[in-house]
Amino acid sequence: MNQMGKPQIAIITPNTLTGIGLKDIIGKMMPGAELCLMSNMEAFAATNREQFYHYFISARVFLDNAPYFLEHLHKTIVLVHGDETGHLPQRLHTLNVCLPEDDLVKQLLKLAETAHRPHHSPIIQQAKCPHGNLPVLTSREIEVLRLLVSGLINKEIAAKLNVSLATVISHRKNITDKLNIKSLSGLTIYAVSHGIILAEEI
């Protein structure tokens, strides 16, 4: 945490596009976080390394500096491309950066649940109150939200709830208006952080 109480997260990767993309996604999930993008271990070593809540690091950075990161496993998340985890210790947390954005958000939420107890995770804490006092959703809106973030489309939700397509669309509009969250990834973060759905169900 910095002096303002904001969680600080280090992203250390020589791949500029990966770093910028991840910084953008985490920034959407945690608008209050301070994200520090570094291209190498030398830049990271020049910081107060203990101030960071998480280290998102490339597999190469991890392998070249394994002793340090093995001592900080609870903070370390290794960025991998696809299934390239065979050369990494099994107990490491990894993040597949080749996933589409919605899937990457889901994977980040799962990491937030497993890497830390949920009430200590800055991702979950930031997601719980992204817009201050949020209006209460009706039980039907919660049901629609749960089905939506679990991957169903409007037509499937209508069939499952035995309502018209127009009713589902109306509920979706009410949900996004009440929460002021327009993206599916944002709704997913909200649903997981408020216990509407478990991360492993999405």
Strand ranges inside 67-149, DSSP E: 76-80, 93-96
Q: Are strands 76-80 and 54-58 parallel, antiparallel or unpaired?
A: parallel
Residue labelled with tokens 């009440």: 178
Closest residue by Cα to residue 37 from 65, 63, 18: 18
* Cβ(3)–Cβ(48) below 8 Å: no
> For the chain, which residues make up each domain, given as ranges?
8-98, 139-201
* pLDDT on residue 85: 62
* pLDDT on residue 84: 67
Q: Does residue 198 carry a pLDDT above 90?
A: no
CATH 3.40.47.10 fits 8-98, yes or no: no
Fold exhibited by the domain 139-201: Arc Repressor Mutant, subunit A (1.10.10)
Mean pLDDT value across residues 76-81:
89
CA contacts within 13 A on the Cβ side of 24: 9
Mean pLDDT value across residues 106-126:
59
How many CB atoms are closer than 10 A to CB 159?
12
pLDDT over 90 percentage in the chain = 33
How many CB atoms are closer than 10 A to CB 116?
17
pLDDT over 70 percentage in the chain = 82
Average pLDDT of every residue of the chain: 81
Give the least confident one: 46-50, 94-98, 134-138, 144-148: 134-138
Bridge partners of residue 94, in order along the sequence: 78
* pLDDT on residue 119: 41
Distance CA 102, CA 184 (A): 7
Residue labelled with tokens 């990966």: 18
pLDDT in tens, 26-76: 887 777 788 999 999 999 999 998 889 889 999 889 989 988 988 888 889
* Cβ(34)–Cβ(6) below 8 Å: yes
